[in-house]
Chains A and B, each alone.
Chain A
Amino acid sequence: MSMPDRLQFYLMHFMPYPDVVPGRAQGQWVDIPNTHFDPEKGRKLYKEYLDELVLGDELGYDALVVNEHHSTFYSLMPSCSVIAGALIARTRQARICVFGTPITLTYPHRLAEEYAMLDVLSGGRLECAFPLGTGMEYWVNPLNPTNARERFRESMDVLMQAWTQPGPTRFDGEFYHYKYLNPFPLPYQKPHPKIYVVGSGTEDTVQYAAEKGYGYSQVFTPIAGQLKSFENYRSTAVKHGHTPDSESIIISAMPYVAETEAKAIEEGRDHILFYFNNLLRANSQMNTPPGYLPIDRLRRRLEAGVFQGSEITWDALTSVYRTVLGTPDQVAERIAFWCEQAESSRIIVHLHVGDMPHWKAVKNITLFAEEVIPRLRRKISPELKAAE
Chain B
Amino acid sequence: MTEFRKCDLLVDGVRVQVIEAGKGKPLIYFHGAGAGGGFDELLPLAEKHRLIVPVHPGFGGSDDDLTISSVFDYVVHYATLFDALKLHEPVDLVGHSLGGWIASLFTIFQGHRVHRLVLACPAGLRVPEHPGVDLFMIAPEDLPSTLAASPMVLAKMTQSEVTVDMKVARYREMTSLARVIWERSCDPKLDRWLKHVSVPTLILWGEQDKILPVQQAQCWADRLGSGAEIAIFNGVGHLVFLESPGAVKRVASFLKVEAYNRLEDPNEASE
Q: Which residues of A pack against B, CB within 8 Å? A: 138-139, 142-147, 283, 285-286, 288-291, 293, 295, 298-299, 302-303
Contacts and interface: CB of A to CB of B under 8 A. Distances in A.
Contact of A299 (B138, B168, B182): B168
B164 interface: yes
B178 A285 contact: no
25 contacts: A138-B182, A142-B183, A144-B182, A145-B178, A147-B179, A283-B139, A285-B136, A285-B138, A288-B171, A289-B178, A289-B182, A290-B136, A290-B174, A290-B178, A291-B174, A291-B175, A291-B179, A291-B182, A293-B171, A295-B172, A298-B168, A298-B171, A299-B164, A299-B168, A302-B168
A285 B167 CA distance: 12
Interface string B107-148: 000000000000000000000000000001111000000000
Contacts of B168: 295, 298-299, 302
Interface residues of B, number: 17
Contacts of B175: 146, 290-291, 295
Given A295-B172, A303-B164, A290 B182 contact: yes
A88 B164 CA distance: 49
A285 B170 CA distance: 12
A182 to B, nearest CB: 28
A144 B179 contact: yes
A289 B136 CA distance: 7
Given A289-B182, A290-B171, 4 more contacts: A144-B182, A285-B137, A285-B139, A291-B178
B232 to A, nearest CB: 31
Interface in B157-202: 164, 167-168, 171-172, 174-175, 177-179, 182-183
A146 B174 CA distance: 10
Nearest to A298: B171
Given A285-B137, A299-B168, A290 B177 contact: yes
B69 interface: yes
Contacts, number: 51
Contacts of A147: 69, 179
A144 B178 CA distance: 7
Contacts of B167: 302
Contacts of A138: 182
B164 A146 contact: no
Contact of A145 (B69, B138, B182): B182
Contacts of B172: 295
Given A285-B136, A285-B139, A146 B182 contact: yes
A139 B178 contact: no
A370 to B, nearest CB: 48
A65 B137 CA distance: 32
Nearest to A296: B168
Contacts of B179: 144, 146-147, 291
Nearest to B136: A290
A291 B179 CA distance: 8
A138 B134 CA distance: 13
Contacts of A144: 178-179, 182-183
A142 B182 CA distance: 9
Given A144-B178, A145-B182, A298-B171, A139 B164 contact: no
B70 to A, nearest CB: 11
A266 B183 CA distance: 47
A302 B165 CA distance: 9
Which 10 interchain pairs have the tightest Cβ spacing? A290-B174, A290-B178, A291-B175, A290-B175, A144-B182, A146-B179, A302-B164, A146-B178, A299-B168, A291-B178
B258 to A, nearest CB: 45
Most buried by B among A145, A290, A299: A290
A139 B137 CA distance: 9
B125 to A, nearest CB: 20
A302 B162 CA distance: 12
Nearest to B165: A299
Contacts of A283: 139
A293 B168 CA distance: 11
B29 to A, nearest CB: 24
Nearest to A305: B164
B186 to A, nearest CB: 14
A291 B175 CA distance: 5
A379 to B, nearest CB: 46
Nearest to A142: B183
B34 to A, nearest CB: 13
Contacts of B171: 288, 290, 293, 295, 298
B51 to A, nearest CB: 30
Contacts of B137: 139, 285-286
Nearest to A307: B167
Most buried by B among A139, A291, A298: A291
Nearest to B139: A285
Nearest to B163: A302
B68 to A, nearest CB: 11
Contacts of A146: 175, 178-179, 182
A283 B178 CA distance: 19
B67 to A, nearest CB: 11
A283 B69 CA distance: 27
A385 B100 CA distance: 68
A293 to B, nearest CB: 8
Contacts of B139: 283, 285
Nearest to A294: B175
A258 to B, nearest CB: 42
B200 to A, nearest CB: 36
A287 to B, nearest CB: 12
A76 to B, nearest CB: 25
A295 B66 CA distance: 14
Interface string B40-78: 000000000000000000000000000001000000000
Nearest to A285: B137
A29 to B, nearest CB: 12
Nearest to B169: A295
